[in-house]
Homo-oligomer: A and B are copies of this chain.
């Protein structure tokens, strides 16, 4: 057996365990009876511990040494070289992070989430604050163990977005704010758009039927997946052969489930599009974040969901083609609505308190606010006790609205209670990338917009699969972007997209 084959067999088992963890997670969120939470937690902790032990083991060190020697002559961008390099990076981190710290973080994350679940509805930030402080202390220890040059946030970003760092994000945010804030001021001064008909009664079964129809048109393969309902929509994969997604149905608000399904379909097309030969390899496994996922980074993954949800699913050509079909499902609810009214309603811009309800223009402002706060929390410029006031001030500065309660403010998201610092940037990175990718697709694929307007999504999907999906985690954000678009990461195409679309909607 060659050294690489032995290495690959070891990694295949690790991927099996990560995929199994994904299934346990899927089951928790969609099927599991409520009383099973505690024992399921123990089962997941055991599996996670086994993965961590195997990832940090001396045996893997030896396999890596031998595999590295063997692939030295391979092309530097070959799958084998990249698989070995990716595991080497994760292995190096595993050697620097003490198992006791991982254990302490796991315990504190569980406690933090439990306290947050009670503190949020009770509007009781003071109750949550000491736990957030502990999570921040442990996260700073984690950053120190992983190591960084400029900012502790950079070390935490290694888990989600390794090419990014605090300085790059700060520059990105300045560019975005300079483009978005003036646009938003013009929009909020314009007359409000009527979207009241979106709040009529829309039965879930028809929402689901329409959503699945579109998911199929986008290219989702139902033989290699399934669609369920859950409290928070998500996509999760147990290899490219089993890519599941969920959505949430609100019968008194139409867009939620439908655009949710478009969004998750974007994620799912990514996972289903990974090359078969990457199945069970390191290039379909995130050994830093400990997650079986085939997308290059969180941000690149998000670019695919945003692309199908917004650039396609919220576009005028899409609705001019599909609105009649939607009206087949809801003939009375949409009897007095025309396609332009509908298009304007689902693209209505309205500053609001809640991130997950935000439109395309204001969404990134919610993200920037959070990322700026978490950077400050980590480097010590911001104290936990000052968070509620800072939150309100930034909301007011960026969005012109401020929450009356912490429930609708600093307590609204689960992320920090779960000790996740560094995942929020992915949403904005995804938005920015989606415009760069769409721009490149239009250059590369002749007649792309005609095909899209005709409902032929195959040319776009095939191009995305060929350029992005099939490579799995072979390339990082910057290298992938350069190969696909020939460009560096930049906010300009995304800002141009926003200005063009919303300049026309809010003249």
Knowing A35-B224, A222-B33, A223-B34, the reply to whether A47 touches B16 (Cβ < 8 A) is yes
Q: Specify the main secondary structure of chain A where it touches its partner.
A: helix
Q: Is A364 an interface residue (CB 8 A)?
A: no
Chain B residues with Cβ below 8 Å from A239 are 36, 39
Residue of B nearest to A221 (CB): B35
Q: State how many angstroms separate the Cβ of A253 from the closest Cβ of chain B.
A: 28
Contact with B along A5-42 (1 / 0, CB 8 A): 00000001100110110011001000111111011101
What are the residues of chain B within 8 A of A20 when measuring CB–CB? 20, 24, 43, 47
A238 at the interface (CB under 8 A from B): yes
Query: Using Cβ atoms and an 8 Å threshold, which residues of chain B touch A252?
Result: none
Contacting residue for A242 out of B39, B45, B280, CB 8 A: B39
Q: Are A46 and B16 in contact (CB under 8 A)?
A: yes
Instruction: Say whether A458 faces chain B, with CB atoms less than 8 Å apart.
Output: no
Q: Is residue A226 contacting chain B, with contact meaning CB distance below 8 A?
A: yes
Q: Would you call B50 and A242 a contact (CB within 8 A)?
A: no
Closest Cβ of chain B: how far from A21's Cβ, in Å?
9
Choose among A43, A45, A238, A239 the residue with the greatest number of B CB atoms under 10 Å from its CB.
A43
Q: Are A242 and B23 in contact (CB under 8 A)?
A: no
How distant is the Cα of A225 from the Cα of B32 in the complex, in angstroms?
8
Chain B residue numbers with a CB within 8 Å of A222 are 33
B residues less than 8 Å from A16 (CB atoms): 42-43, 45-47
* A279 lies within 8 A of chain B by Cβ: yes
Residue of B nearest to A22 (CB): B43
Report if A407 contacts B (CB, 8 A).
no
Q: Flag whether A241 is at the interface (Cβ < 8 A).
A: yes
Q: A31-B226, A280-B39 are in contact. Are A46 and B242 (CB under 8 A)?
A: no
0/1 interface trace, chain A 218-236, chain B, CB 8 Å (1 if under): 0001111110000000000
Give 17 CB contacts A-B under 8 Å: A13-B46, A13-B49, A16-B45, A16-B46, A20-B43, A20-B47, A27-B27, A31-B31, A33-B224, A33-B225, A33-B226, A33-B241, A33-B242, A36-B224, A36-B239, A39-B242, A39-B280
Residue ID in chain B nearest A18 by CB atoms: B43
Nearest CB of B to A85, in Å: 24
- For residue A46, which residues in chain B have a CB less than 8 angstroms away from its CB? 12-13, 16-17
Q: Which residue of B lies closest to A239 (CB)?
A: B39
Q: How far is the CB of A78 from chain B (nearest CB, A)?
A: 23
Query: Which residues on B sit within 8 Å (CB–CB) of A12?
Result: 42, 46
CB of A193, distance to nearest CB on chain B (Å): 40
> Would you list the 8 A-B pairs with minimal beta carbon distance, nearest first?
A36-B242, A16-B46, A39-B239, A16-B43, A36-B241, A35-B224, A13-B46, A35-B241
Question: Hey, which chain B residues are within 8 Å of A43, CB to CB?
Answer: 16, 19-20, 238
CA of A40 to CA of B280, assembled, Å: 11
Which single residue of chain B is at the shortest CB-CB distance from A279?
Answer: B39
Instruction: Please tell me which one of the listed residues B39, B49, B226 contacts residue A19 in the complex, with CB atoms under 8 A apart.
Output: B39
Closest to A12 in B: B42
**Residues of chain A in range 22-78 having any CB-CB distance to chain B below 8 Å:** 23-24, 27, 31-36, 38-40, 42-43, 45-47, 49-50
Residues of B with C-beta under 8 A to A238: 36, 39-40, 43
Question: Chain B residues near A31 (CB, 8 Å)?
Answer: 31, 226
> A224 — nearest CB in chain B belongs to which residue?
B35
A270-297: which have CB < 8 Å to B? 279-280
CB <8 Å contact, B35 and A242: yes
Inter-subunit contact A39/B241 (CB<8 Å): yes
CB-nearest residue of chain B to A242: B36
| Max count, chain B CB within 10 A of own CB: residue among A12, A13, A239, A242 | A242
C-alpha spacing A46/B20, complex, angstroms: 10
Report the minimum CB–CB distance from A262 to chain B (whole Å): 20
- A49 vs B31: C-alpha distance in the bound complex, in angstroms? 27
Q: In the assembly, what is the distance between CA of A244 and CA of B33, in Å?
A: 9
Question: Which residues from chain B contact A19 at a C-beta distance below 8 Å?
Answer: 39, 43
Given pairs A32-B242, A36-B241, A40-B238, 18 additional interface contacts (CB within 8 A): A13-B46, A16-B47, A19-B39, A19-B43, A20-B43, A23-B23, A23-B27, A33-B222, A33-B223, A33-B224, A33-B225, A33-B241, A35-B221, A36-B239, A36-B242, A38-B241, A43-B238, A50-B50
